[in-house]
Amino acid sequence: MQAPELPADEEFRFRATLSTRWSDKDIQGVLNNAVYLTLCEEARYRYFDSLGLIETDRHFPFVLAQSHLRFIAPGNGPAMVEILLRTVALGNSSFRQVYRLREISTGQVWVECEALLVCWDPVTRGSRPMGDHFRDAVARFEGLSI
């Protein structure tokens, strides 16, 4: 099973500072695996909010198609963490992102993640082509060709 391959830190242009909670740890004394998807989602919200692409009622204009987590070191809570996030590819109706989550105090990477997301029409409840405004905003921020 191949782990996601992520770019080096310096290629990321977005960074979210988040906190884990005491309750995020499970009975084995580590940050529960599901919490990492919650933290990536939180970073994703901030990323698209900073680009002005969140819709009414704080809805995302896309849905997840795939997410692939690699657990590198056991996490802790409460702790301050940062997530580096980058959109690495834009398709016709989908895009791919990568995430690196690190504890701030130690610099230890806990998790890396790759995700595939699909532009979504809430009315038809189906995928839709990526809108020009969305594509332009992400491509410009990331320095991607469109």
Interface residue list for a copy of itself (CB under 8 A)? 1, 3, 18-19, 21-23, 25-30, 32-35, 37-38, 41-42, 45-46, 57-60, 63-71, 74, 78, 96, 114, 116, 122, 125
Beta carbon of residue 37, minimum distance to a copy of itself (angstroms, whole number): 4
CA-CA distances (angstroms) from residue 46 to 51, 67, 71, 85, 129?
Answer: 9, 18, 23, 10, 23
Note if the bond before 78 is cis, omega within 30 degrees: yes
18 vs 101: CA distance, rounded Å: 10
Select 10 or 125, whichever has its Cβ closest to a copy of itself.
125
- Beta bridge partner(s), residue 64: 117
Beta carbon of residue 91, minimum distance to a copy of itself (angstroms, whole number): 10
Determine whether 34 is exposed, middle or buried from the number of CB atoms within 10 Å of its CB (0-12, 13-18, 19+): exposed
Beta carbon of residue 58, minimum distance to a copy of itself (angstroms, whole number): 6
Beta carbon of residue 87, minimum distance to a copy of itself (angstroms, whole number): 13
